Structure 1
């Protein structure tokens, strides 16, 4: 049985950063979203229709990042749970790698740090194998030539 402490720590850090990013982005949208919209409407160089379009675009983009970060955090938790069983380490590695690639692409590399953490955890989960402690040769046999 091999300890998967490094993979678990990288996964936990990735989950925490994704969850924190989702929460902070949601709070920012809720608190500053109305103020930004008001600033757009008060700008004399921007028409009301353009202000509506830009306000909905930035609000939708913010919620998109919240959803992608939350899904990445959930998939990270799934990878960590799969690591608890040593026989599922390959599946956990695949989950981590898929999460890393999708979150990087879907957030336009906005979650670069968490993607790297998930990628490293996934590669480690797949590559690291337990050392076979049983000797294949019997120590009592002598080879004769």
Structure 2
């Protein structure tokens, strides 16, 4: 039995998780390069004084961005690795039950840990996991 649908949905979900991993890495970069971000906001405040932001608010925002970016990057990379493992299990119809369970658990756990940021990619993993569990091979009856 071919598992093209499950593999395709898994690959699409992995691409979405890769996108979130890149966003998380950018968030970590922003937190680690505070001087550049602060100078950018100072220049913006000099051009438009009504849109200025205080440095304490900026530092608080950068702390939050850095922490959430690290979490988003780590869980996205773990989700991609688990998705690749599931695709290997699905390829050739080796272990579809294990692949389906891995995909479903990954989708649910990442959606909760990321506070909903990974829900779109999780939907693809969830559908692929349900398909992997629900599809049964055709039985041939010999008379």
- Give the structure-2-normalised TM-score: 0.79
The alignment partner of 1:120 has SS state of helix
Contact 2:21 2:72 in 1 (8 A): yes
CA distance in 1 between counterparts of 2:26 and 2:65 reads: 14
Matched, 1:58 2:57: no
Q: Which runs of 5+ in 2 are unaligned?
A: 46-51
Contact 2:21 2:77 in 1 (8 A): yes
Offset, 1:52: 4.1
TM-aligned CA distance change 1:100 to 1:44, over 3 Å: closer
Please report the RMSD computed on the Cα atoms of aligned residues, expressed in angstroms.
Answer: 2.4
The alignment partner of 1:84 has SS state of helix
Q: Which aligned segments of 4 or more residues in structure 1 are displaced greater than 3 angstroms?
A: 35-40, 42-47, 50-54
Contact 2:28 2:69 in 1 (8 A): yes
Report the count of equivalent residues. 132
CA distance in 1 between counterparts of 2:99 and 2:123 reads: 15
- Give the structure-1-normalised TM-score: 0.78
Greater helix content: 2
TM-aligned CA distance change 1:44 to 1:24, over 3 Å: closer
